[in-house]
Amino acid sequence: AQKITQTQPGMFVQEKEAVTLDCTYDTSDQSYGLFWYKQPSSGEMIFLIYQGSYDEQNATEGRYSLNFQKARKSANLVISASQLGDSAMYFCAMREGLYNFNKFYFGSGTKLNVKP
Amino acid sequence: ETGVTQTPRHLVMGMTNKKSLKCEQHLGHNAMYWYKQSAKKPLELMFVYSLEERVENNSVPSRFSPECPNSSHLFLHLHTLQPEDSALYLCASSPKISSDPTYEQYFGPGTRLTVT
């Protein structure tokens, strides 16, 4: 089974509107971390936001927030007030604690296009 | 220079060539990673090094040979590659291997490899 599933290969959003990028994960570990990365066309992966499995509050970083629903095993990224520079690939990732802490599992990504 | 750097940024090589990719991190991190990113596929973890010791090898073909001479440098030696090896190769580093899943990875800009 896939560890990280991103079901939206591509998304469009109007500039200044909010958009939600979906991510579900699969783990039996109690301790894990969830990450979102942005990859512009230039190729580098840019860390956006982190959510720990024991964090009770949803993580926020500026215009980025993570809608963490532990029982559903989902960690959706919400981008508020979209900007043209937000157009990029977005990857959800998970790092499991204890035994597999070497590995990051990445989803297949969502390509976000922000329209002017 | 700061962050994670990779050279070259672009590489075209024939199937009989031997080349090396270089990654350098200036963050004082102890763990370094090689990933392969092919079109429309999730990132594939290839190798993980912790304090110059290889701790992960994800069944990567022997035509890819990693080398980690110190905690700041990571190489990927390439020989007799196949056209299907054409991809973006990303290097990453993280503070240390530990059971704490909060550590994120910092990525380099990648090397775009084309095998002809």
Pairing type for strands B44-50 and A64-69 reads: unpaired
Mean pLDDT of chain A: 91
**Contacts of A62 by beta carbon, 8 Å cutoff, 6+ apart:** none
**pLDDT (average), residues A17-25:** 97
Q: Is pLDDT above 90 for A70?
A: yes
CB contact at 8 A, B15 and B114? no
Does A103 contact B109 at a Cβ distance shorter than 8 Å? no
All residues of chain B having their beta carbon less than 8 Å from the beta carbon of residue A104 are: 33, 43, 45, 105
All residues of chain B having their beta carbon less than 8 Å from the beta carbon of residue A106 are: 42-43
Beta bridge partner(s), residue B101:
none
CB contact at 8 A, B47 and B35? no
Distance from CA of A45 to the nearest CA of B (A): 6
Residues B84, B116: Cα–Cα separation, whole Å? 10
A interface with B, Cβ–Cβ below 8 Å: 4, 31-33, 35, 37, 42-47, 50, 52-53, 91, 95-98, 101-109
B89 pLDDT tier (thresholds 50, 70, 90):
very high
For A43, name the nearest residue in chain B, comparing CA atoms only.
Answer: B109
Among the listed residues A77, A66, A64, A83, the one whose alpha carbon sits nearest the alpha carbon of residue A17: A83
**pLDDT (average), residues B75-96:** 92
Is the link from the previous residue into B95 a cis peptide, with omega within 30 of 0?
A: no
All residues of chain A having their beta carbon less than 8 Å from the beta carbon of residue B50 are: 102
A42 pLDDT tier (thresholds 50, 70, 90):
confident
